[in-house]
Amino acid sequence: MQIRETLRSTYPVILLAVVVAICVTILTGVGNITLPRIEAMEKQKVEKMLSEMFPRMTGYTFEDEIYSVYSGDDTVGHAFIAIGKGYGGNINILVGLEDEQTIKGIIVVSHTETPGLGSLITEDFFTDQFTSVTIDDMALRRDGGQIDAITGATISSRAVAEAVRVTAWDKVELLRGNEAGT
Amino acid sequence: MSTSKKEFVKGLITTNPVFVLLLGLCPALAVSTSIDNALGMTLAVFIVLLGANVIIAAIRGIVPSITRIPIFIVIIATLVTLVNLLFNAFLPDLHATLGIYLPLVVVNCIVLGRAEAFASKNPMVRSIADALGMTVGFMIAMLMISFIRQMLGTGEMSVFGFHIFSLPVLIDSPMAIFILPPGGFLIMGLLLALLRWKGVLKL
Amino acid sequence: MNELIVIFLSMALINNIILVRYLGLCPFLGVSRELKPAFSMGMAVTFVMFVASLSTWVINHYILIPFDIQYMFIIVFILVIASLVQVIELFIKKTNFSLYSAFGIYLPLITTNCAVLGVTIINMMESYTLLGSLVSALGSGLGFTLVMTMMAGIREKLELADAPRSMKGAPIALITATLLGLAFFGFSGIV
């Protein structure tokens, strides 16, 4: 009688625990199938963008938040993610470095800018301006640089230019430091 | 009309989840910027709603009153996590567009509301009909809202990459406001008023 | 410090959780008819958001990430929030009855509220630090309260206005939200 009483009062909790256990098991199972695939797709995305930027790429490594791109045994360039403070939030930009002075090009990875205005920063007509430009010239024309802003989207355009220039300088410093260290 | 069919039809108009019960507004407005997104969200809600109604109707006999809400929440949260994982792995573009609104389906009033109000008290077949009805009702509402927002906000109608038609003036200078948050509120409000005025919805 | 101010302003005004992120719309339409309930709801939400952000951050960083089970965050977060709200409600009921009658009744409504869960998810996705998450919660809650009280103030007056029959209630409230949203657009770009 005693046992039945305790069972009856703890039944709700036991049932809850059983339900949780079943759910967690199912999720772990599905997780094991999907998570590796998700990771692989992420890697593929990065690879695709890097090879778009460095057509002769055969391989790359990722260390200290900088991608080093190789073609055979030679280092063809470097790349890194710059984060700009845009109008609607963060803008993630993949920046390619040709050498210590020059930007190879940029790809806008993600943003939340205004559709029709700031969102145009992903278009070729804007990003092509960043191909083979010296880091110092990475600023809007009105700020002393070489980049034409998008009409009606000055803040978005400036955010991209500033992020690219400032982060590029940081990464060049880092690379120089690494070289000096080795 | 059999009771199951009645439940299904109920979800379409008389108790349309979005326009009548005003449930699930968060995703309805956030994701209705284009038809593709609307359909994607409907798919997610469908899987979770159907799954939840089926499971809860099945175990409704053995669930004690005290812990029923936590158990329902765990079941719904598991379903949502499943959908989140599966979409991330197999429909990555949709997953990226839906963003935080996909996990938020777990607190979507439609899902928990139907589970609590209906599936926990009704047999399996009727619960399935209810889930289907609510989903179709949700889908109709979402399609109406996103059709208007996409047309005015981008000037063209394209579904899953298939271009259907463009509007002459709007295609060159679309009214972007409609795919921005204030536009969502506006379309929803006007649509609601229109449907009431036309007698489709009771006042 | 700069970072924290940006987070606060972003959550409260620029990306206001109701008008821009579409979170917490159920209470927004349901509880914003009168000034006092609207304000109390806002305060309750702010409080729960703060405590929820704290607990979910701790759980995320000390349990989910180390054990590589971050994908289970939905279940964990919602259970944490639901239990938290229960505990808070009981606690307030027992200790400070006047506080309870002020906003206690709104607490159960907050459990299944996209606002609280939404903010904790945003904190996780933006990888805010503990301080950042707390500031984000405060900002979101205060922004929520601001919009709720503005809405309530307007709706109280709207009750007396002569709106067409099909517009009364939700439609006119939504259109008011449109105008509020447009006004809040002005906050973009202040950081």
ipTM reported for the complex, 2 dp: 0.83
Q: Which two tokens stand for residue A99?
A: 């050498």
Domain coordinates in residue numbering, chain C: 2-19+32-187
Domain of B13? 3-149
> How many other C-beta atoms are found inside a 10 Å radius of the C-beta of residue C189?
13
> Which of A19, A83, A87 to mutate to probe the C interface, most C CBs <10 Å?
A87
Mean pLDDT of chain B, nearest integer: 83
Residue linked to tokens 């389906």 = B105
Residue B168 in any domain: the answer is no
Domain residues of chain A, as ranges? 1-53, 59-181
Pick from B81, B73, B43: which is nearest to B56 by CA? B73
pLDDT at B65 over 80: no
Distance CA C167, CA C165 (A): 5
Which pTM does this prediction carry? 0.84
Average pLDDT over residues B34-50: 91
Answer whether B176 touches A (CB < 8 Å): yes
Q: Is residue B45 part of a domain?
A: yes
Chain B hits for A35, CB-CB cut-off 8 Å, are: 85, 89
Answer whether C188 sits within 8 Å of A87, measured CB to CB: yes
**What is the SS3 assignment for chain B?**
CCHHHHHHHHHHCCCCCCCCCCCCHHHHHHHCCCHHHHHHHHHHHHHHHHHHHHHHHHHCCCCCCCCHHHHHHHHHHHHHHHHHHHHHHHCHHHHHHHHHHCHHHHHCHHHHHHHHHHHCCCCHHHHHHHHHHHHHHHHHHHHHHHHHHHHHHHCEEEECCEEEEECCCCCCCCCHHHHCHHHHHHHHHHHHHHHHHCCCCCC
Q: Where residue C134 falls among pLDDT bands split at 50, 70, 90?
A: very high
| CB nearest B78 (choices: A11, A26, A114) | A26
A12: which chain B residues are within 8 Å (Cβ-Cβ)?
A: 64, 66-67
Q: Is residue B171 part of a domain?
A: no
The three-state DSSP-derived secondary structure of chain A is CHHHHHHHHHHHHHHHHHHHHHHHHHHHHHHHHHHHHHHHHHHHHHHHHHHHHCCCCCEEEEECCEEEEEECCEEEEEEEEEEEECCCCEEEEEEEECCCCEEEEEEEEECCCCCCCHHHHHCHHHHHHHCCEEHHHCCEHHHCCCECCECCEHHHHHHHHHHHHHHHHHHHHHHHHHHHHC
B42 domain residue, yes or no = yes
Quickly state the pLDDT bin for B203 (edges 50, 70, 90): low
* Number of inter-chain CB pairs under 8 A, B vs C: 116
Residue B30 is assigned to a structural domain of this protein: yes
Among A87-96, A173-182, B95-104, top mean pLDDT goes to B95-104
Token pair, residue C50, equals 């703060």
Number of structural domains, chain B? 1
Q: What is the pLDDT of residue B109?
A: 77
- Residue B9 falls inside a structural domain: yes
